[in-house]
Every structure is written in C-alpha cells, then in structure tokens.
A and B are shown apart, each in its own frame.
Chain A
Amino acid sequence: MSRTTDRRWVVPERGNRLVMRFALWLARTVGRRRLEWLLWPVSLYFFVVNAAARRASRAYLQRALRGRYRTGAVLRHMHSFAQAVLDRMFFLQDSTHMPPVRVEGREQLLQTLAAGQGCLLLGAHIGSFEAFRALGRAHTIPLRMLMYRSNLGGATHVLEALDPAYAGLIIPIGEVDTMLRVAESLGKGEIVGILGDRTPDTGRCVPARMLGGDVSIPEGPFRLALATGAPLVLVSAIRAADGVYDIRFEKFDVPYPSSRQGRGAFVQMAVERYVGWMEALCLRHPFAWFNFYDYWKDAP
C-alpha cells in the first residue's frame, strides 16, 4: 500500500460557464435528440485542442480494443463522452426530458437495502452515474454522493443549477468528518454513491493490473465498507446503441473478514474484484470509459 500524490485529475473540469449556459439554453430550446448532430463538431473541437486527452484516449483504446484499434476510434471516444455530458444535463433537469433507462438487478439493491444498514453503491467513471441518480430521484431512493468537490469547475456548477437539490446530496471528500457523515447517512438506511476509480492526492492506493497494465486503485471505498459494515453493490449505467441507458446493479461478492487481521487481505481482494468488474465493462463498452488522463502507470 502506498500514498500517492497524483494531481493529474485534480484540475478544474474543462468547459467554462458561458459555453455550458449556451449549451443548456440550446438543449432546452431545441431538445435532446435534435441536438445530437452538434456533438460531432464539439467532439472534433476537443479532439483538436486537447492533446492530453487525445493521447490518454489513444493509450486506453489500444488496451481496450487491442487489434481492433483504428485512428478514428479516438474521435468516437470523445463523441461518446460529449453524448454523456449532454445526457447528463437532461438527467439532472427533469424526468420528462430524461433519456430512457432499462434496469437490471433492481432486486439486488432492494434486498440489500432491506437489511437496514444502508448501502455503499460503487461505480466508476464509466458510462453515466447521473442515470442512476435520476432513477433514484424518480423512486425516492435516498442517495448521497461522496465526491471530491473542490476541483469541480464551471461545468458542474451550471449542471448543479439544473437540480437545486444536487449540492445538498453531495458529501464532500477531504474533511475530517466526511466519513462520519457517511456513517450517519448509512445508519439512516440511505445509499451512498462512490466512484472508486480515482483518488484525491491524499488517498491511499493499492496497485492492481488492469487491461494488461499497472493501475493504482483507491482503497478508501473498501476500508469504508469495513469501518461501517455497510454492504457494497456495484452499479454501472451505459448508453446502449438505441440511446437507452442500461443500469445494472451487481452484488459485490467478496465476504467481509471476521477479524481486523483479515482487513489487508480483504482490501486487496476487493480491489481485484473491482478492477475485474471495470475491465469487463471496458471490454464490452470500450467507448464508455471517461478517464481522459494517463490512467496507466506504466505508460511510455
């Protein structure tokens, strides 16, 4: 286990308020489906100006697509991200304009919640976590998001303006009592969502192998599960070819250790299970991976 100082993603999100406000106005006026043609020029623009994202995308796609990698794949990857950002605006806005969703494994989540210990819902920057949040709102499932908030830029502030309750549901990472808040929330039977594939610079990480390379995975979600005793459930929401979001809940089937001595081994096993889950998603949905920075540590 090591402590990393990885500042690469702790930078303000790209996209300024003015552009986002314009996009928002356009989205509301023109409508979601009629706006989609715009995504290609937008993706092309980012493809041209953002060399770092382009490099990161290529490095990732060469792993995920293997022999099937072609030059155009990077542009398609960026288009897929632009589509997710657009859909995110509608997920946050209101249910009448939301993209449609299909849900698989709902009983898994409901069973887990019935135990009364709340639930740690573990996702990744793959597909759209917003799709699940919107579903939660529609069904009044109490959901809070554990987020590293201080680095979020203008884009997120505008998105938050769409859903005034959004900010109140976020538990910001980085305060001494952050996890006390999480434990209290779980104690009330609420769901706490975590995207476990990135860490702020103070986070402790465990090395793992993913898509044939070395990655560094935060151990926080798994230590948190042990500290609170709350069950973990995996969630992904991926946009299918027909424009429907497939939301899938999956049991996290690594048993919690009975003693403190078993904790280290549990965290290692849990990280491997989590990485295996991410890897399978990447292979099935290669363009849904939204970490546009050099995620692999052994990159040339």
Chain B
Amino acid sequence: MNTTRSTTSQTPFEHEVAERLVAALQLEVTAEEIAPEAPLFGEGLGLDSIDALEIALLVGRDYGVTLRSDAPDNQQIFSSLRALCQYIQAHRAAG
C-alpha cells in the first residue's frame, strides 16, 4: 500500500467499493465524492444501521467477506470507506 498517498484521495480499490456503495444504497452523491476517511454513519454520509446491513450483504456477495454482528471491531470497520476497504482486503479469500 502506498503510504505517501494523500488521505483525501481514493485508492483504486476504494473507488471500486465506493461505486458499489453508491449503486446499492442509491446514494445521492457520486463515488468520487465519498472522502475515504470521512465517517459513513451519522454525520458524514448520514447512513444508518439498515444501510450497514446492505453494506454487509454487498461485501459478503461481492467479496466473500462475512461481517457479523458479534465481531468486536464493527464500529471500526464501518467507521469510514477506508476502514471498510482495509477490512475487506485483509479478509477476502485469496486469489
């Protein structure tokens, strides 16, 4: 991972996930407008817990990564686009 990348610009993978989120959640912003480190829930994008469920379904379907309610780090995983993408990349099936 390129550590010198600006914190405000999306990595290619973040952009891909952002595009899927915009389509699945029918967001009124474009994928480019999702700041990678901005909060997804509450203030930031204003998503709610039902959106979180949609994200979990999408992540399971498209990347084979299961998000569960009893995982202790859910707050962290759902905190931003970047955190979500890092979690997917760390846990997706090899290959």
Contacts and interface: CB of A to CB of B under 8 A. Distances in A.
Contacts, number: 54
B67 A176 contact: no
B46 interface: yes
Interface of A: 3, 173-184, 202-204, 220, 223-224, 227-228, 260, 263
Given A184-B68, A227-B57, A177 B49 contact: yes
Given A180-B68, A184-B68, A173 B49 contact: yes
Interface residues of B, number: 20
A183 B53 contact: yes
Contact of B74 (A176, A203, A227): A176
B6 interface: no
Contacts of A263: 26
B82 to A, nearest CB: 16
B42 A179 contact: no
Given A184-B69, A202-B42, A227-B57, A179 B26 contact: no
A144 to B, nearest CB: 12
A105 to B, nearest CB: 27
30 contacts: A3-B46, A173-B49, A174-B49, A175-B49, A176-B41, A176-B49, A176-B52, A176-B75, A177-B49, A177-B67, A177-B71, A177-B74, A178-B49, A179-B50, A179-B52, A180-B52, A180-B67, A181-B69, A183-B53, A183-B56, A184-B68, A184-B69, A202-B42, A204-B48, A220-B48, A220-B50, A227-B53, A227-B54, A227-B57, A263-B26
Interface in B53-95: 53-54, 56-57, 67-69, 71, 74-75, 78
Interface string B22-53: 00101000000000000001100010111011
What 10 pairs between A and B have smallest CB-CB spacing? A179-B53, A180-B69, A181-B69, A178-B49, A179-B49, A177-B69, A177-B74, A176-B78, A223-B50, A179-B50
